[in-house]
Amino acid sequence: MDFKTADLYDAHGEALRVCEPIFRDFGGQSRFAGPVVPVKCFEDNSVVKSTLAEPGEGRVLVVDAGGSLRCAMLGDLIAASAVEQGWAGVILFGCVRDSVEIGQMPLGVKALASIPRKSQRRGEGQRDIPVTFAGVRFAPGDWVYCDEDGILVSDRALDP
């Protein structure tokens, strides 16, 4: 992917939504973009696992995990599934684990922190609904652009 979020912002300005700078890079790809698939779940990664097991087709899973710092919603096994299925990345308003392994994968991952505790699996969560965190709204059909400088959200695909 050949773009810089700073250049995209300069070209498109206020038409873009800019996430608050609260995320760290955990994946092996710091620069990634794609159509948004939003999910909402709290300390239960069932919907994260099932969604990333589907063909990704270059999409980005955007997870509103409520900002929980108590457990990880993504680990190396689920991240490996995302790579195998062709996902471009994951933006996680929550935590990861297995950060060294995830950092070696060709997957973009932005999250708040890393923690060794795994989440529960109770089969809870919602998919394909608008979610809001880090000061912006993510909806089905939106596009995200991520790099070392941050995350931009657009209503449509942009020409870099």
Does 39 fall in a domain? yes
Secondary structure of residue 11 in the 3-state scheme: helix
Does 88 fall in a domain? yes
Q: Show the domain range for 130.
A: 5-154
Taking residues 94-114, what's their average pLDDT? 98
Residue ranges of the annotated binding site are: 75-78, 97-98
- Contacts of residue 29, Cβ cutoff 8 Å, sequence gap at least 6: 88, 89, 106, 107, 108
The model's pLDDT over 117-156, given as tens digits with 9 standing for 90+, comes to 999 888 889 999 999 999 999 999 999 999 999 999 999 9
Does 76 fall in a domain? yes
Does 27 fall in a domain? yes
Does 107 fall in a domain? yes
The model's pLDDT over 52-81, given as tens digits with 9 standing for 90+, comes to 999 999 999 999 999 999 999 999 999 999
47 with 80: CB under 8 angstroms?
no
Residue ranges of the annotated binding site for Mg(2+) are: 98
The pLDDT value recorded for residue 86 is 98
DSSP state of 129: S
CATH of the domain at 147: 3.50.30.40
For residues 59 and 89, give the distance between their C-alpha atoms in angstroms, rounded to a whole number: 7
| pTM greater than 0.85 | yes
35 with 62: CB under 8 angstroms?
no
Does 160 fall in a domain? no
Residue ranges of the annotated binding site for substrate are: 75-78, 97
